[in-house]
């Protein structure tokens, strides 16, 4: 297999055995980017020279005795809403197309320290608002499995890069499914950690109470390795959780005996593609064969999730995106008076979907509607959280499809926002409840599109997710 298609832990072995150098790994990935990215469009910025320089430096340090940690020298792609010092952070928005971050996000500091190589910044839906990576001012990203289809979104660039060998591992962010859904569409592994487990410092906010950074990788082991690096309390993020971080590779056990898996019936309605549903049933059968206990469970408030999400997320977004006004940084449209400057800047700077959500969020928070919409949504959010809490009194994890369908065609849903929103119907409740969930490849449909299996656990039980996912992966070898 080609170097650019290996998993990080495989490359790590080669580096350890000195069979390859970091420079060779980076060159292999950059070559792949050269070959395919014109078609895929996974990157907004390719950090070619920077990555090569860094690779050389790390090789030299290794020759002087630097320890090769599990992800040392591994090319990582970063979603373009995570700040890297000195690099552009655009959020795929025209309004930030000239913004160079003067600081590193906490996760970037951690990756830097471990010696990973930042290969580039990946494409996404503008400000993470979308489910197909079609809302980017830099153009769309295509699904490497089938270029006529979308890679999912909003972390579509990161998922496509990992799937196409344009990066070995990647970071995405997940507000309503933005890691899991593209991972599912591109046939890779994606995990959204418990809210608060990974610092949001340096992650450009879409909806602060929902956003989480997480890994997108080729297999479950890489996912655990990346989790080992990025998790942990950060005093710079007040919503960060002060909790002990285990070694997640300890959870990579091919063993689900006595694990109680709940099947939420609300996630298997008629909107689910038959082939997707069939893949889920096969997964249940596999777990059963390996000793897991499978039972149905009800999450009765699931039906309110989409409405709740679009009230809370847009409310927060309308405020979070207010800062892009052309005053201090970013794109500015000139005008003689300040009000007009704001209007022109934001009119020209934001795309349609972003504008739509800012307007909705502004409305939700307006005097007279705050109680009706925002507070009501918070109450619904509490109910949704309660549903899960009750389920986890009985179950170790829940199993569901990531999305009702597989990757849809480019352009298929761009004219129908509501249809697009429904793509996240099974991922959104997890964010509302702040839970961890993983998306793993679970076969292909008859057209060759990837199907994603979602596992959901209670807060801070990523270990359970990794264990169950690893068991599935070991017994199907379906990743990649």
Partner 1 sequence: MYQTVIGLEVHAELSLDTKIFCGCSTKFGQEPNSQTCPICLGLPGALPVLNEEAVKYIIKIGLALGCRILPEARFDRKNYYYPDLPKNYQISQNYLPFAVDGYLELPPSQKKGTPIKVGIDNVHLEEDTGKNIHSESGGREGYSLVDFNRAGIPLVEIVTRPDMHSLEDTESFMVSLRNILLYLGVSNCKMEEGALRFEASVSIRPDEASSLNARVEIKNLNSFKSVLRSLQYEIERQRRLLSGGEIVSGETRLWDEKEGKTLTMRVKESSPDYRYFPEPDLPPVVIKPQWIKTIRAAMPELPAERLRRFVKKYHLPPYDAIILTSSKSLADFYEEVVEGFPDGKHVSNWIMGEVLEKLKERKIGIEESSLTPASLSELLNLIKCGTISGKMAREVFAEMFATGKGAGEIVKERGLAQISDTRKIKETIDLILKKNPAAISDFQTGKKKVIAYLTGQVMKETKGAANPQLVNELLQEALQQQ
Catalytic residues, by residue number, are: 79, 154, 178
- Of 6, 15, 78, 96, the residue at the interface with partner 1 (CB under 8 A) is 96
Interface with partner 1, residue 366, by CB under 8 A: yes
Binding positions for partner 1, 344-363, rule CB under 8 A: 362
160 CB neighbour count, 10 Å cutoff: 36
Q: Please, are residues 191 and 221 in contact by the beta-carbon 8 Å criterion?
A: no
Torsion of CA 443, 448, 449, 450, to 10 degrees: 20
- Of 323, 394, 409, 419, the residue at the interface with partner 1 (CB under 8 A) is 323
**Could you tell me the smallest distance in angstroms from the CB atom of residue 327 to partner 1?**
5
Q: Please, are residues 321 and 127 in contact by the beta-carbon 8 Å criterion?
A: yes
Residue in the structure block whose two tokens are 């979907």? 353
In this structure, the chain runs to a length of: 480
Closest residue by Cα to residue 175 from 94, 248, 258, 81: 81
Residue in the structure block whose two tokens are 């109450």? 379
- Of 370, 372, 389, 419, the residue at the interface with partner 1 (CB under 8 A) is 370
Closest residue by Cα to residue 35 from 423, 43, 269, 110: 43
Q: Please, are residues 131 and 138 in contact by the beta-carbon 8 Å criterion?
A: no
Closest residue by Cα to residue 228 from 203, 250, 258: 250
Q: Please, are residues 8 and 225 in contact by the beta-carbon 8 Å criterion?
A: yes
3-state secondary structure 350-366: CCHHHHHHHHHHHHHHC
- Angle formed at CA 444 by CA 225 and CA 472, multiple of 5 degrees: 40
**Could you tell me the smallest distance in angstroms from the CB atom of residue 95 to partner 1?**
10
**Could you tell me the smallest distance in angstroms from the CB atom of residue 298 to partner 1?**
29
From the list 96-104, 276-284, 387-395, 441-449, the region that binds partner 1 by CB under 8 A is 96-104
- Of 325, 387, 463, 473, the residue at the interface with partner 1 (CB under 8 A) is 325
Q: Which is nearer to partner 1, 327 or 348 (CB)?
A: 327
**Could you tell me the smallest distance in angstroms from the CB atom of residue 6 to partner 1?**
31
Interface with partner 1, residue 316, by CB under 8 A: yes
How is residue 347 written in tokens? 């009119």
Quick note: the x/- pattern for partner 1 over 225-244, rule CB under 8 A, is ----------xxxxx-----
Number of shown-chain residues binding partner 1 (CB under 8 A) = 43
Q: Report the relative pairing of strands 450-457 and 397-401 from DSSP bridges.
A: antiparallel
From the list 113-121, 252-260, 283-291, 310-318, the region that binds partner 1 by CB under 8 A is 310-318
Interface with partner 1, residue 103, by CB under 8 A: yes
Query: From CA 293, how far away is CA 274, in angstroms rounded?
Result: 24
From the list 70-78, 245-253, 321-329, 387-395, the region that binds partner 1 by CB under 8 A is 321-329
Q: Report the relative pairing of strands 43-46 and 169-174 from DSSP bridges.
A: unpaired
Q: Which is nearer to partner 1, 69 or 365 (CB)?
A: 365
From the list 16-24, 145-153, 244-252, 364-372, the region that binds partner 1 by CB under 8 A is 364-372
Instruction: Give Cα separations from 33 to 27, 105, 215 (angstroms).
Output: 10, 25, 20
Binding positions for partner 1, 418-437, rule CB under 8 A: none
Alpha helices in 248-304 (DSSP H): 274-289
From the list 14-22, 82-90, 274-282, 466-474, the region that binds partner 1 by CB under 8 A is 82-90
Interface with partner 1, residue 138, by CB under 8 A: no
Q: Which is nearer to partner 1, 37 or 80 (CB)?
A: 80
Q: Which is nearer to partner 1, 146 or 155 (CB)?
A: 155
Interface with partner 1, residue 81, by CB under 8 A: yes
Distance between terminal CA atoms of the chain?
12
Phi–psi pair at 269, nearest 5 degrees: -75, -175
Binding positions for partner 1, 188-217, rule CB under 8 A: 200-205, 207-209
Interface with partner 1, residue 315, by CB under 8 A: yes
Which positions touch partner 1 (CB under 8 A)? Answer: 81-83, 89, 91, 96, 99, 101-103, 105, 200-205, 207-209, 235-239, 315-316, 318-319, 322-323, 325, 327-329, 338, 342, 362, 365-367, 370, 374
């Amino acid at each position: 297999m080609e170097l650019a298609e290996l998993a990080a832990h495989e490359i790590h072995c080669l580096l350890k055995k000195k069979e390859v150098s970091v420079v060779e790994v980076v060159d292999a990935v950059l070559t792949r980017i050269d070959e395919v990215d014109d078609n895929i469009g996974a990157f907004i910025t390719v950090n070619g020279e920077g990555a090569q320089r860094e690779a050389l430096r790390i090789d030299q340090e290794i020759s002087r005795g630097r320890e090769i940690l599990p992800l040392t020298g591994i090319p990582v792609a970063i979603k373009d809403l995570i700040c890297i010092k000195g690099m552009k952070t655009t959020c795929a928005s025209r309004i930030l197309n000239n913004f160079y971050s003067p600081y590193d996000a906490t996760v970037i500091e951690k990756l830097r320290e471990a010696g990973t190589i930042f290969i580039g910044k990946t494409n996404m839906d503008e400000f993470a608002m979308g489910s197909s990576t079609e809302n980017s001012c830099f153009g769309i990203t295509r699904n490497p499995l089938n270029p006529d289809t979308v890679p999912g979104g909003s972390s579509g660039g990161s998922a496509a890069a990992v799937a196409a060998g344009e990066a070995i591992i990647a970071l995405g962010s997940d507000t309503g499914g933005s890691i899991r859904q593209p991972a599912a569409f591109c046939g890779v592994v994606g995990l959204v950690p418990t809210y608060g487990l990974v610092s949001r410092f340096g992650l450009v906010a879409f909806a602060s109470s929902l956003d989480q950074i997480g890994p997108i990788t080729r297999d479950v082991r890489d996912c655990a390795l990346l989790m080992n690096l990025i998790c942990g309390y950060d005093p710079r993020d007040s919503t960060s959780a002060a909790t002990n971080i285990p070694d997640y590779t300890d959870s990579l056990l091919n063993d689900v005996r006595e694990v109680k898996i709940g099947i939420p019936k609300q996630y298997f309605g008629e909107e689910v593609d038959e082939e997707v549903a069939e893949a889920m049933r096969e997964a249940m059968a596999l777990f059963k064969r390996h000793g897991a206990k499978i039972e149905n469970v009800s999450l009765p408030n699931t039906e309110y999730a989409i409405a709740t999400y679009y009230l809370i997320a847009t409310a927060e977004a309308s405020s979070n995106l207010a800062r892009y006004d052309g005053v201090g940084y970013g794109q500015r449209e000139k005008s003689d008076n300040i009000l007009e400057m704001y209007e022109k800047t934001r009119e020209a700077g934001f795309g349609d979907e972003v504008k739509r959500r800012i307007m909705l969020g502004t409305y939700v928070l307006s005097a007279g509607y705050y109680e009706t919409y925002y507070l009501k949504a918070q109450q619904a959010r509490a109910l949704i959280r309660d549903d899960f809490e009750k389920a986890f009194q009985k179950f170790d994890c829940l199993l569901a499809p990531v999305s009702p369908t597989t990757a849809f065609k480019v352009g298929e849903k761009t004219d129908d926002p509501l249809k697009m929103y429904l793509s996240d119907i099974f991922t959104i409740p997890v964010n509302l409840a702040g839970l961890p969930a993983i998306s793993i490849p679970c076969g292909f449909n008859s057209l060759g599109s990837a199907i994603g299996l979602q596992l959901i656990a209670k807060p801070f039980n990523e270990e359970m997710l990794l264990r169950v996912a690893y068991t599935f992966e070991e017994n199907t070898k379906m990743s990649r």
